[in-house]
């Protein structure tokens, strides 16, 4: 395979802590990066750049690891634009609209679902997302959950079985029976296509006992755990995630001191927590809800990731730069913290060490900005600043 | 010149009130639009579309008038990303940083300024902005204001002389003298390149007497009036604008009942106010300030426009879709009100009837979305949804 040199990089964000300026961002100036066989082969001063078969001139721009979006719901049919407009006119978000999408998803053909997944995956890639997690959760039958994951697995290795998104209408008065279905035939059908198991642990969705039962069943067949936790109100989700060794607890909008302490208690030797708090400010933006308290988590030493929550109900954005801008404006993260959370943080939330970082051996997933600094991702909100994306070393 | 048919439009926003659904948006379904000689030549049902030399298939997507960004400061040098990061860490916005940009702008060559203006104009056009107003105001010498406007006039007819942006440091203790300079030789040098005159009427910038003197001088040589008013605190700007027949008073973040009443008193026969309130939510986003009360203005019958305020200090966004999303989330405008304000509202703020509307005789400035409805501009925040732009009938 041929080699490719990304040269004349004004600011290279490596996320190799201590390897340059900017603390965790490991920023190198006037740098170059060599790609071989889809991986980063070399990083160093532009003046020392090795010869290569091809060359991309970054023209002094900033280069960052591609975004790692660790939370997205892309397998669905229909949209809920009218529900969004009604909510903006004052109707509260209750999560009840999920069932609207379940109906549309069940009624859709494989081809329709596949087209939506591919359209949104491509849209995210154009915006710099090189790794994306995709959940099921709008099928809620054995067949519809399995096909959701099968279609998701066509575009990503980070697939999550979320049969326990809500109790579907036909099981409304038999939740125990639905949990049995999820743990039994639905999990068995989903297993070949899934890496992760997830539960929406929330009032109106699944309580702690049901969530624990489902997540434990998933672990028993080799799935790793992530949890939708503490989005709409305080609850047991975060502590349950910590108890089960979840890679991530997602949303974290309503936390008690005990929740924060539980997360902080998972600190490991490298200074990160084993359970990451993944914040999804697009959801608070699109439901006009109060934002999570990122500073409280960061100050307690909890590792924070940012993700889009891309879904047709509560956060129909695929834009990681938008989430970064919100994190800075609304959650008082510094631009550096937000960029780290959207790259290395997302990788931690997926327990990956080959993405979200630019060092020899890592995947050559990177973005070249139309800007001289990572700061511009927050400083220039809404502007499509991703000029070029390399995914597995291939320019897209 | 050849004709071009935009066909298979799922939702056509015409902004011709009463010509379809959606009240002021005048929405037509399953429509087509014919372009000839840079103008809209025909609008009607797709089934009745006339023959044309060329055809663009909108594939069922939404088509809207191009955005009209009536407030942008694109002639500058340098950036203030570090100031932005400091502000996000808690430093308040005082407008004092304008002088940083003045120094950089004076030191820049014509070629550097031109490159920035063209880069940002192209960036805005890609995002659907087909009409843009550009102000001077970072030169603040006779020569630097004149060249700023000369360079702006290369890319737009909507040029605004803002010699009264702030009192430059060298006149700090002689503001009367600076006002004399603005009204005298600076205005004379700017006049050939300017359509509008504007003053930043604010504590720390220009008071009512100075602002009135400058605006009146501009009117005397044929410039029309717009005013930066009531951004950082209550003040006389809005009422001064109404007194002088301004096309627009911009920011309107801090209004008294008397200010709202003054704006409402300019109502004309077509149901719009002669003086438009132009809201710039990108500035509140990027300075973490409270947003203007759009509902109060709309409920009082005041015409509202949305614009970016694109500038390197307080709002470095060029994205009208981002402003629409903020208007809906933060200012409780409906998606329809926000889309109207970003198109027809901007046109009113520039006293233009040939843009911001899609009817025979209007300029063929339009955008095709990657979405079935205008709702998606707010429903999908941060996502670049503008698939194609036609400017003066030419696909870009």
Out of A90-99, A111-120, A354-363, pick the least confident.
A90-99
Helix residue ranges, H only, B89-207: 98-107, 110-126, 142-153, 175-181, 187-190
Tell me if chain A has a CB within 8 Å of the CB of B79.
yes
pLDDT of residue B94: 74
Dihedrals phi, psi of A82, to nearest 5 degrees? -70, -40
Q: Which residues of B touch A335 (CB under 8 A)?
A: 85, 88
* Subunit contact B88:A378, Cβ cutoff 8 A: yes
Task: Give the closest of B88, B286, B381 to A322, CB-based.
Answer: B381
* Subunit contact A85:B379, Cβ cutoff 8 A: yes
Closest residue on chain B to A377 (Cα): B81
Q: Which residues of A touch B384 (CB under 8 A)?
A: 126-127, 384
> Please, which residues have CB within 8 angstroms of residue B227's CB and are 6 or more apart in sequence?
B198, B199, B201, B211, B215, B237, B238, B240, B241, B244, B246, B248, B249, B250
Alpha carbons A37 and A249: distance in angstroms, whole number: 34
CA distance A1 to chain B (A): 34
Alpha carbons B344 and B331: distance in angstroms, whole number: 18
Helices B110-126, B142-153: inter-axial angle, 10-degree rounding: 40
Q: Going edge to edge, which strands form the sheet with A196-201? A: A67-69, A129-135, A158-164, A196-201, A224-229, A248-251, A276-279, A304-306
The pairing of beta strand A158-164 with beta strand A129-135: parallel
CA distance B385 to chain A (A): 10
Tell me if chain B has a CB within 8 Å of the CB of A47.
no
At A1, the pLDDT band (50, 70, 90 cuts) reads: low
Rounded to an integer, the average pLDDT of A146-163 is: 98
Task: Give the closest of A82, A318, A373 to B383, CB-based.
Answer: A318
CA distance A335 to chain B (A): 7
H or E element at residue B228: strand B224-229
Beta bridge partners of A161: A197
Q: Which residues of B touch A81 (CB under 8 A)?
A: 373, 375-376, 379
Two structure tokens written together for B313 = 């200090």
Per-residue pLDDT at A57 exceeds 70: yes
Task: Please state, rounded to an integer, the average pLDDT across all residues of chain B.
Answer: 97
At A138, the pLDDT band (50, 70, 90 cuts) reads: very high
Q: How many A/B residue pairs have CB atoms within 8 Å? A: 115
Tell me if chain B has a CB within 8 Å of the CB of A286.
yes
Tokens 């960061």: give the residue: A298
Two structure tokens written together for A72 = 């997205």
Task: Give the closest of A85, A329, A378 to B335, CB-based.
Answer: A85
Kindly report the CATH number that applies to the domain delimited by B3-66+356-395. Answer: 2.30.40.10
Task: Give the closest of B85, B286, B375 to A85, CB-based.
Answer: B375
pLDDT of residue B1: 59
Per-residue pLDDT at A92 exceeds 90: no
Low-confidence stretches of chain B (pLDDT beneath 70): 1, 95
* Subunit contact B335:A88, Cβ cutoff 8 A: yes
**pTM for the model:** 0.98
Give the Cα-Cα-Cα angle A58, A59, A62 (nearest 5 degrees). 60
Q: Where in chain B is the domain with CATH 3.20.20.140?
A: 67-349
End-to-end alpha carbon distance in chain A: 17
Helix (H, G, I), strand (E, B) or coil at B343: helix
pLDDT of residue B209: 97
Q: Where in chain B is the domain with CATH 2.30.40.10?
A: 3-66+356-395
Task: Give the closest of B288, B322, B370 to A382, CB-based.
Answer: B322
> Please, which residues have CB within 8 angstroms of residue B33's CB and are 6 or more apart in sequence?
B5, B6, B9, B12, B40, B42, B43, B63, B358, B366
pLDDT of residue B231: 96
Alpha carbons A76 and A70: distance in angstroms, whole number: 18
CA distance A333 to chain B (A): 8
Tell me if chain A has a CB within 8 Å of the CB of B372.
yes
Helix (H, G, I), strand (E, B) or coil at B214: helix
Alpha carbons B5 and B337: distance in angstroms, whole number: 28
* Subunit contact A316:B380, Cβ cutoff 8 A: yes
Per-residue pLDDT at A40 exceeds 90: yes
Q: Which residues of B touch A332 (CB under 8 A)?
A: 88
pLDDT digits (tens, 9 = 90+) for B266-307: 999 999 999 999 999 999 999 999 999 999 999 999 999 999
Alpha carbons B206 and B226: distance in angstroms, whole number: 14
Kindly report the CATH number that applies to the domain delimited by B67-349. Answer: 3.20.20.140
Task: Give the closest of A81, A370, A378 to B379, CB-based.
Answer: A81
pLDDT digits (tens, 9 = 90+) for A317-345: 999 999 999 999 999 999 999 999 999 99
């Amino acid at each position: 395979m041929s080699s490719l040199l990304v040269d004349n990089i004004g600011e290279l964000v490596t996320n190799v802590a201590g390897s340059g300026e900017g603390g965790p961002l490991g920023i190198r100036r006037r740098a170059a990066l060599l790609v071989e066989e889809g991986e980063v082969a070399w990083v160093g001063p532009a003046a020392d750049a090795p010869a290569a078969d091809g060359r991309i001139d970054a023209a002094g721009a900033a280069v960052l690891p591609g975004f790692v979006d660790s939370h997205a719901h892309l397998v669905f049919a229909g949209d809920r634009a009218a529900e969004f407009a009604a909510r903006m006119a004052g109707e509260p978000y209750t999560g009840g609209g999920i069932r609207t999408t379940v109906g549309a998803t069940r009624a859709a053909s494989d081809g329709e679902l596949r087209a939506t997944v591919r359209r949104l995956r491509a849209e995210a890639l154009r915006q710099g997302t090189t790794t994306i997690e995709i959940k099921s959760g709008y099928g809620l039958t054995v067949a519809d959950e399995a096909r959701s994951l099968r279609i998701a697995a066509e575009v990503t290795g980070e697939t999550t079985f979320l049969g326990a998104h809500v109790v579907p209408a036909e099981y409304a008065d038999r939740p125990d029976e639905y949990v049995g279905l999820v743990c039994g035939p639905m999990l068995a059908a989903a297993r070949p296509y899934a890496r992760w198991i997830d539960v929406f642990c929330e009032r109106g969705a699944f309580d702690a006992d049901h969530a624990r039962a489902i997540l434990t069943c998933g672990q028993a067949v080799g799935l790793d755990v992530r949890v939708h936790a503490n989005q709409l109100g305080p609850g047991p989700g975060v502590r349950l995630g910590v108890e089960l060794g979840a890679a991530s607890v997602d949303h974290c909008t309503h936390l008690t001191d005990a929740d924060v302490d539980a997360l902080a208690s998972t600190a490991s030797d490298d200074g990160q927590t084993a359970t990451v708090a993944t914040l999804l400010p697009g959801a608070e933006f699109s439901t006009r809800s109060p934002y999570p308290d990122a500073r409280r988590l960061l100050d307690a030493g909890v590792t924070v990731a940012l993700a889009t929550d891309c879904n047709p109900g509560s956060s129909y954005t695929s834009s990681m730069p938008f989430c970064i801008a919100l994190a800075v404006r609304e959650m008082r993260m510094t631009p550096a913290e937000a960029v780290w959370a959207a790259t290395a943080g997302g990788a931690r939330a997926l327990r990956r060490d080959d993405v979200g970082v630019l060092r020899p051996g890592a995947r050559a997933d990177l973005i070249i900005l139309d800007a001289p600094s990572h700061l511009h991702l927050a400083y220039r909100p809404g502007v499509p600043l991703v000029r070029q994306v390399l995914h597995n070393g291939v320019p897209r």
